[in-house]
Amino acid sequence: MSVEVVTYRLTYRGKPVGTHVIKSEVAGRVRRMESRAGYQGQLGNAVITQRSRASAQHHHSHRYREETQEREGKRVYDVHFDSQTGLVHASTGAKDVATAPYIRPYRDPLSLLSQVRSLAGNSVTNVAMLGKDVSVQFAGEVDISTALGEKRAWAYVLQPGGSVVYVDVTGSNAILKMTQRLTEGHLDSLVVSVSSEATMETFGDEQRTGGKRSQSRRRGRRRPRRRKRG
């Protein structure tokens, strides 16, 4: 299937502060997602890239990685939800690794957004996240003015934190707007365009597996024999 690409304009206290792109692809039972937010101006200069691999049907996460690139350098947070060993492995570097029992179907920040898109006007409580559980409360339908025209959306309030996610009631139920409460104002992501791409970059174990597959395929190919001239 093709990759859904949704582009947003970021504003903080009404002023532009960057762009945000979320990509999503379903391959069999797995949903891959990538979020790339570039900040500038009032919120400083940084690029935050998040990648997720999760269950397409149930939304629990298999792998999550977050990279923050700033002038001072890059920070990486990587989480592997390992059902075979029954452990969650989290790391911020080669020497900073922690484990915890994998006892609940944890979501990551991107697979949580995927679950919100599927609620169709319903609420859900006690969504398992690392740290604190999240509740998603349906707050009603609203009209939103976007670059794509007037849109009708389901509004959901996420607690704790009070973030609001607005989901298109039609079509693929794309997220039209997200509002996050910060200390001195609101950070808004408002949809600018919805498009598609052919493929999306993989990460983690998939890269290693893909490399082995490609090598085996190359080994298995035979060159056509040349005919001898008489």
What CA–CA distances, in Å, run from 204 to 23, 28, 112, 215? Answer: 17, 18, 20, 18
Cβ 191 vs Cβ 174: under 8 Å: yes
C-alpha 163/C-alpha 10 separation (Å) is 15
C-alpha 29/C-alpha 1 separation (Å) is 12
Please report, rounded to a whole number, the percentage of residues in the chain having pLDDT higher than 90: 74
Model confidence pLDDT, tens digit, residues 95-134: 788 999 999 999 999 999 999 999 999 999 999 999 899 9
- The structural domains of the chain, with segments of one domain joined by +, span 3-210
Cβ 204 vs Cβ 53: under 8 Å: yes
24 bridge partner residues: 4, 33
The pLDDT confidence band at residue 210, using thresholds 50, 70 and 90, is: very low
The pLDDT confidence band at residue 214, using thresholds 50, 70 and 90, is: very low
Q: Mean pLDDT score of the chain, rounded to an integer?
A: 88
C-alpha 3/C-alpha 43 separation (Å) is 29
| Predicted pLDDT at 205 | 63
| Predicted pLDDT at 1 | 61
Cβ 106 vs Cβ 129: under 8 Å: yes
Return the higher-pLDDT residue of 5 and 93: 5
Model confidence pLDDT, tens digit, residues 145-202: 999 999 999 999 999 999 999 999 999 999 999 999 988 889 999 999 999 998 888 7
pTM reported for the whole predicted model? 0.86
- Region 3-210: CATH code: 2.50.20
- Between CA 141 and CA 150, with CA 146 as vertex, the angle to 5 degrees is 55
Cβ 130 vs Cβ 147: under 8 Å: no
